[in-house]
Structure 1
Amino acid sequence: MDQEKFRILKTYFGFTQFRRGQEEVIDALLAGRDVLAVMPTGAGKSLCYQIPALILEGLTVVISPLISLMKDQVNALSDAGIPAAYLNSSLSPREYADTLAGAGRGDYRILYIAPERLRREDMYRLGERLRIPMVVIDEAHCISQWGHDFRPSYLVIAEFIRIFSKRPITAAFTATATGKVRDDIVRILNLEDPFLLTTGFNRENLYFGVGRPPDKVRSLLSYLENHRNKSGIIYCSTRKTVEEICRTLNARGFGAARYHAGLDDRERHKNQDDFIYDRTPIMVATNAFGMGIDKSNVSFVIHYNMPKNIESYYQEAGRAGRDGEAADCILFYSPQDVQVNKFLITNGDAERDEALVSHHLELLKHMTYYATTNDCLRSHILGYFGESAPHFCGNCSNCTTQFENNDITIPAQKILSCVYRIEQRGKRFGKLMVINILKGSKNEKLLSQGLKSLSTYGIMAETDVHRIRTILDYLVEKEYLAQEGEEYPVLLLGPRWEEILRQKKALSMMLPKERERKKPGVPADETPGEFREDLFAQLKELRNRLAQKARVPAYIIFSDASLRDMCRKLPKTPEQFLTVSGVGAVKMEKYGGLFTDLIKAYTGTSPP
């Protein structure tokens, strides 16, 4: 079987060696063992069950949560010459019946099924008639209520597996799962003596950054201006914010589509397809978007608002850089994000379960720590998932920033005194007004309310506005100040204010001093001067034409990583083309002549 798995790896998928963890999972499945594998996005989980599916006799069933994931996987498998199909609500009754009949005839090796379909009578009949050696559960964390994306439909899976007279091998895969969630997966699926694998959550190609921009829109536009023609996702916490950001980006000339649960199915599907097929480079979305999107060339994921937990954040951010190229994962943080998430948690569906509410509030605390820590961001994420990591990764905003410990006792006293004086007058204001008072602003609204007579008016006139805001946010986080209100939050003294104003406690904080970091997007094994951008553009154009003709996303033909490898190796013969990463025998037969002809024309040479 060793030779067979390597033959399939090269012939159908175009690779000559396995990534970390893949071979161990494949060997366990071929030996008949159940498996639970936790592997980060981009680690190649699908190969772990697709290769055994081509070796084991019969039809492998893959239970997958989203239509888009199934379509992508089946498109990719079909393009590689592997017979596969899916059953979900996107099919017409005729298409559904035809696919079911095809499965009964043995036309497919892999069949993707939505979990909601498992209760149907035709699924039970299919299970009785066919030899099904393996059942695969993708996004297995959805089975646990302690995870970040619990789906009740997943609870049917164990019942479905029990219908078979001969129990199939059961394989569960997920990218993010804490120890508690992993235990839940094993218990609920009744995995028997499973092979357990956690390859590690670290993805070195991803840059992690947290910013606290005083103007999020301006910072977002600045980032996008420096990343023109790149594909990316911008996550927002509410539908309203999605609409506002999408309108702003399109008005500024950035091609953006929107995605949230408030849109009708037709628009959601159109916008998703426009993004996947590279017709629209930017997707602005709530967390309703993304699971199962197998788009390989996402160069950045920006969280405009902080998510409710680290699992959600890491899964969403991990949609960047699936092709192994350098990519950015940026979080725009503000303390207001914490208040919004608390409101969503305590007023959501989980409100009837106090233990679950408490659990989600605890997860929110960990997410807030990540957004406010001065430690290595990568180390913080890996530590959360129980994985040790170096103190310094060199590829996150904290590691690439030189922090200085600053005594902020006097500025803190001035800010707290200002809020104290405002409360004495029976008033409360938001951050901007407090900062304007401290700066001695001549704002008409401020002057009309007689706030110039406050003793704290203008006492920080010489301090940079951004520095005041940074210290003010720190005082909120440390509970020296508090915020009240959702839509228009106001500041008030927090439970610890007396420590600073009355007990004269000294206070310090780490304030960042920015320094230039290595520009992301340049692979480690090449410098900008060595990369042939003009050839890369021509290869992309050819790939896009082929994709349009085949009506599949461009990355189904070849990923950006494969095109970059062509630029480096300049293959001009079939033998040379087969050495390109991601090129197997089937794709060589389909596309080799077209791409090598283009490369020969580019270099002005003939094959030896």
Structure 2
Amino acid sequence: MDHTAEALDTLQHVFGYPAFRPPQQEIINTLLNAEDALVIMPTGGGKSLCYQIPALLREGCAIVVSPLIALMQDQVEALQQLGVRAAFLNSSLTPEDARAIEQDWLDGRLDLLYVAPERLLQARMLRLLNQLTPALFAIDEAHCVSQWGHDFREDYLGLSELHQRFPEVPRIALTATADARTRQEIAERLKLTEARHFLVSFDRPNICYRIALKDNPRGQLLRFLRDEHREDAGIVYCLSRKRVDETARWLAEQGFNALPYHAGLPAETRAEHQRRFLREDAVVIVATIAFGMGIDKPDVRFVAHLDLPKTVEAYYQETGRAGRDGLTANAWLVYGLQDVITLRQMLDQSQGSEVFKREEQHRLNAMLGLCEVTTCRRQALLAYFDEHLENPCGNCDSCQNAVATWDGTEAAQMALSAVYRTGQRFGVNHLIDVLRGAENDKIIQNDHHRLPTFGVGKALDSRQWKSVFRQLVARGYLSVDMTRFGALCLQESARGVLRGEVEVQLRQDPKSSSAKRTTKSAIPEHIDVGLWEALRECRRQLAENQGIPPYIIFHDRTLQLICEQRPGNIAEFAAISGVGDRKRDKYAEAFLAVVRDNQPLA
């Protein structure tokens, strides 16, 4: 049955949007026809609407499985602003508040109920579910079920029980990040192999991907923030808690409103820092990967990585937290060979099986390969998720500044030969000393000054040799052996290079990455700045009065449309994308007054 008309009516009057994006309507029809769906859709692509609209149109209350308290609270506040009867059950509630919400559910006064996976499978919840047939089950952040993934949650494994207990209730599982293997694992573990699968493009064209070598990373980050994001909200990711604390403190000393976030901080501190990030402007969160999943803040203008992410999936998901509103945003990363050594060391020390470690090593190699690619980064990123982008994107550093390459075949042969002749027992710095002919104690003690490779590489300086070794590791000619303190070892593929059967083209690393680069503002130049700031202040005051984040009232994109269209009455205000019936009634008067008070000069 086709439910397009009623779904579109709900989209326009409740959510305030004129039309669906493909394939939202098809997904909604699937659920309204009581069929299951598995949806892979990028961050900011409109996943939530795919279950929220069926929840309003089907009989009963929809149950949404969500992994984080922050995500539940954020989405419930946004739905309540639209007049939707939504609530959540989690550990942040008092027993009295939880019982009141359960009673609302029993009395039919809820359209959507957000629940953590561990609570959903408790005996009490299952008894309530047996009394009240749910409208549907929505499993958000479904990649948490993957034991190969970086956000694995053991509680998600039990969610397949929903299909056994409630076979007639449609289910939808959603995530923004899943390669082919993870998609298959989600389908199998959640018993969704027979469901309709919807795979939407992973492309986020508004995000500019930029990756550079570490060269005084703090200085690089400071230039990036001062030149391009002085007044913007953003996230800076670091690998360790110690580095998070040090970086946040240092950025604060530089005049930024920077706050740390990691699992080692008290729960109250983490909650307060997250609250400020969501509700204040221009807050920079410095965090480990413990921060971000479930953060629905649409106006994050940048995500910066001071360390190499472990996998392409992690990189994609973390950078995807920028620019959810569709406006311009930056994904900025600096890395070096030491990052690879550190991550490899962490992997070797993990409790995972050998199979798991091999898989993670492949994923780390893929991440390093993305850093070293000399062509369009977006094409390489999408190719990892089995998606083909025909033409270079024009919105990554490789496209905007063509990468110079050089014939590194001879240098590669020298480097690989040095690894072989020193017994595959030494790290990068010692190998460079051999190639450059350094006569230090370590060289003499190991008789490496007598090797044929000793001193053959004097034409390249230490920095250039580090680049050669880094790229040879990235391309799989060398691996890092952490059982020998970071020793480099030959891989089978190195044989062809040593024999002269394979030509090696290497990227020419820039001498310095300090050049200033200014990206376009998220707000177009034609926007009246005075009106824009007045609308933001109006939104801020309204949000403060209600104790909610400003973006829950209106996204920046909606304010931008108000600036462009300058509505003069309620009907014109209601026609703006993002203004539903409830928000029209609640906010039209306030924002129309701002427009009237900020008329352009004749």
Q: TM-score, normalised by structure 1?
A: 0.87
SS in structure 1 at match of 2:173: strand
After superposition, what is the alpha-carbon deviation per residue over 1:235-259, rounded to whole angstroms, capped at 9, x for unaligned?
Answer: 1111122122112111211111111
Alpha-carbon RMSD = 3.6
Bigger drift between 179-188 and 499-508 goes to 499-508
Residue number in structure 2 paired with 1:46: 48
Task: Choose from 465, 471, 474 the match for 1:474.
Answer: 471
Residue number in structure 1 paired with 2:383: 383
Contact 1:53 1:110 (C-alpha < 8 Å) held by counterparts: yes
Matched, 1:180 2:181: yes
Bigger drift between 401-410 and 269-278 goes to 401-410
**1:194-205 to 2 correspondence within 5 Å?**
194-205=195-206
Task: Choose from 278, 283, 287 the match for 1:276.
Answer: 278
Distance 1:282 1:460, change over 3 A: farther
Residue number in structure 1 paired with 2:555: 559
In structure 1, what is the Cα distance between the partners aligned to 2:355 and 2:442?
46
Q: Which runs of 5+ in 2 are unaligned?
A: none
**CA offset at residue 490 of structure 1?**
6.8
After superposition, what is the alpha-carbon deviation per residue over 1:466-518, rounded to whole angstroms, capped at 9, x for unaligned?
Answer: 555433533554577776769x9777686799989997899653435879999
In structure 2, what is the Cα distance between the partners aligned to 1:322 and 1:13?
17
**1:117-156 to 2 correspondence within 5 Å?**
117-156=119-158
Distance 1:93 1:42, change over 3 A: same
In structure 2, what is the Cα distance between the partners aligned to 1:399 and 1:216?
23
Residue number in structure 2 paired with 1:20: 22
**1:59-98 to 2 correspondence within 5 Å?**
59-98=61-100
Contact 2:146 2:152 (C-alpha < 8 Å) held by counterparts: yes
Report the residue type matching 1:360 in the other structure. E
Residue number in structure 2 paired with 1:260: 262
Distance 1:475 1:571, change over 3 A: same
**CA offset at residue 307 of structure 1?**
1.6
Residue number in structure 1 paired with 2:297: 295
**CA offset at residue 449 of structure 1?**
9.9
Residue number in structure 2 paired with 1:245: 247
Bigger drift between 252-261 and 69-78 goes to 252-261
SS in structure 1 at match of 2:260: strand
In structure 2, what is the Cα distance between the partners aligned to 1:333 and 1:202?
23
Bigger drift between 492-501 and 135-144 goes to 492-501
Report the residue type matching 2:101 in the other structure. T
In structure 2, what is the Cα distance between the partners aligned to 1:527 and 1:388?
30
Q: How many residues align?
A: 591
Contact 2:478 2:494 (C-alpha < 8 Å) held by counterparts: no
In structure 1, what is the Cα distance between the partners aligned to 2:414 and 2:347?
34
Distance 1:521 1:10, change over 3 A: farther
In structure 1, what is the Cα distance between the partners aligned to 2:598 and 2:456?
66
In structure 1, what is the Cα distance between the partners aligned to 2:407 and 2:386?
34
In structure 1, what is the Cα distance between the partners aligned to 2:359 and 2:410?
38
Bigger drift between 253-262 and 382-391 goes to 382-391
In structure 1, what is the Cα distance between the partners aligned to 2:540 and 2:488?
56
Contact 2:408 2:506 (C-alpha < 8 Å) held by counterparts: no
Report the residue type matching 1:342 in the other structure. R
Contact 1:403 1:510 (C-alpha < 8 Å) held by counterparts: no
In structure 2, what is the Cα distance between the partners aligned to 1:502 and 1:135?
57
**CA offset at residue 460 of structure 1?**
8.8
In structure 1, what is the Cα distance between the partners aligned to 2:17 and 2:130?
36
Residue number in structure 2 paired with 1:208: 209
**1:411-422 to 2 correspondence within 5 Å?**
none
Residue number in structure 2 paired with 1:116: 118
Residue number in structure 2 paired with 1:590: 586
After superposition, what is the alpha-carbon deviation per residue over 1:516-562, rounded to whole angstroms, capped at 9, x for unaligned?
Answer: 99953446xx852x122232122111111111111001110111111
- Percent identity, please: 36
In structure 1, what is the Cα distance between the partners aligned to 2:51 and 2:65?
12
SS in structure 2 at match of 1:603: coil
In structure 2, what is the Cα distance between the partners aligned to 1:365 and 1:292?
27
**CA offset at residue 95 of structure 1?**
1.3
In structure 1, what is the Cα distance between the partners aligned to 2:476 and 2:588?
63
SS in structure 2 at match of 1:375: coil
**1:310-329 to 2 correspondence within 5 Å?**
310-329=312-331
In structure 1, what is the Cα distance between the partners aligned to 2:36 and 2:477?
52
Distance 1:508 1:384, change over 3 A: closer
In structure 2, what is the Cα distance between the partners aligned to 1:467 and 1:240?
30
**1:168-567 to 2 correspondence within 5 Å?**
168-191=169-192, 193-226=194-227, 227-278=229-280, 281-351=283-353, 354-408=354-408, 431=429, 467=464, 469-477=466-474, 508-512=504-508, 519-522=518-521, 528=525, 530-567=526-563
**CA offset at residue 148 of structure 1?**
3.3
After superposition, what is the alpha-carbon deviation per residue over 1:135-179, rounded to whole angstroms, capped at 9, x for unaligned?
Answer: 111111212223332211012212244334x62111111111222
**CA offset at residue 193 of structure 1?**
3.7
After superposition, what is the alpha-carbon deviation per residue over 1:285-333, rounded to whole angstroms, capped at 9, x for unaligned?
Answer: 1111111100000011112111221111111110111000011112212
Contact 2:420 2:490 (C-alpha < 8 Å) held by counterparts: no
Distance 1:408 1:160, change over 3 A: closer
Distance 1:198 1:594, change over 3 A: same
In structure 2, what is the Cα distance between the partners aligned to 1:263 and 1:84?
31
Contact 1:335 1:477 (C-alpha < 8 Å) held by counterparts: no
Distance 1:117 1:332, change over 3 A: same
After superposition, what is the alpha-carbon deviation per residue over 1:48-104, rounded to whole angstroms, capped at 9, x for unaligned?
Answer: 111111111111101111111100100000011101000111111111111111111
**CA offset at residue 194 of structure 1?**
1.7
Report the residue type matching 2:222 in the other structure. L
SS in structure 2 at match of 1:390: coil
Contact 1:124 1:163 (C-alpha < 8 Å) held by counterparts: no
Contact 2:241 2:288 (C-alpha < 8 Å) held by counterparts: yes
**CA offset at residue 267 of structure 1?**
1.0
In structure 2, what is the Cα distance between the partners aligned to 1:407 and 1:359?
31
Task: Choose from 593, 596, 600 the match for 2:596.
Answer: 600
Matched, 1:31 2:36: no
Distance 1:502 1:195, change over 3 A: closer
